[in-house]
Amino acid sequence: MGYISHMHRIDDMDRRILDQLQRDGTLSVDALSERVHLSRNACWRRVKQLEERGLIRDRVAILDAEAAGCGLSVFVFVRAASHDPDWLNAFRGAVAAFPEIVGVYRTSGDLDYVLRARVSDVKAYDRLYQRLIARVPLADVSASFVMEEIKETTAIPLTELGRVATV
């Protein structure tokens, strides 16, 4: 079975609520209930349950990176210098300390980690790189600069949410 237990099935109404909140987290309960065609109180109860169950983790404002002075998106590919717990703790501390690093992913394959950074320009990336390698030893680092963002979203696909996995 997946993440959701039998007691907490996700139905089509929950999916509609989550879909609307992913589009606009600032919706009032009144506006949300109108969009999903549910009474205000029932809608409020469902949202609270979704929050308590951890499906709704946060509600945030998504900024325009260019307008915020961080128009360059960079993918940084890292090979670890070591695979011991001390190195991993140092790496985690280092990447957590840099606000420019907006995503860190441990991956399978030839690379150990992929980082996503938001900076103003290539010089700002170089400063980030210099600070990072000063904090933690890395075996290899390379970067790709995003030339065009074709698609970027924070929305999670809801088509499989609540479905029971078959064994």
User: CA-to-CA distance for 83 and 10, rounded, in angstroms?
Assistant: 39
Q: Which residues fall within 8 angstroms of residue 43, CB to CB, at 6 or more apart?
A: 17, 29, 32, 33, 36
| Helix and strand counts by DSSP (H, E) for the chain | 5, 4
What does the pLDDT read at residue 5?
Answer: 45
Instruction: Give me the domains of the chain, ranges plus CATH numbers.
Output: 10-52 (1.10.10.10), 72-145 (3.30.70.920)
**How far is the CA of 156 from the CAs of 22, 53, 82, 142, 145, in angstroms?**
8, 16, 33, 29, 25
Amino acid identity at 33: S
Short-list 127, 117, 128, 131, CA closest to 70: 117
pLDDT tens over the chain, length 167 residues = 344 444 457 899 999 999 999 999 999 999 999 999 999 999 999 999 999 999 999 999 999 999 999 999 999 999 999 999 999 999 999 999 999 999 999 999 999 999 999 999 999 999 999 999 999 999 999 999 999 999 999 999 998 776 644 44
CB-CB contact of 77 with 139 (8 Å): no
CB-CB contact of 156 with 22 (8 Å): yes
Left (φ > 0), alpha (ψ -120 to 50) or beta: where does 2 sit? beta
For the record, the structure tokens of 157 come out as: 């696909």
> Can you give the pTM of this predicted structure?
0.82
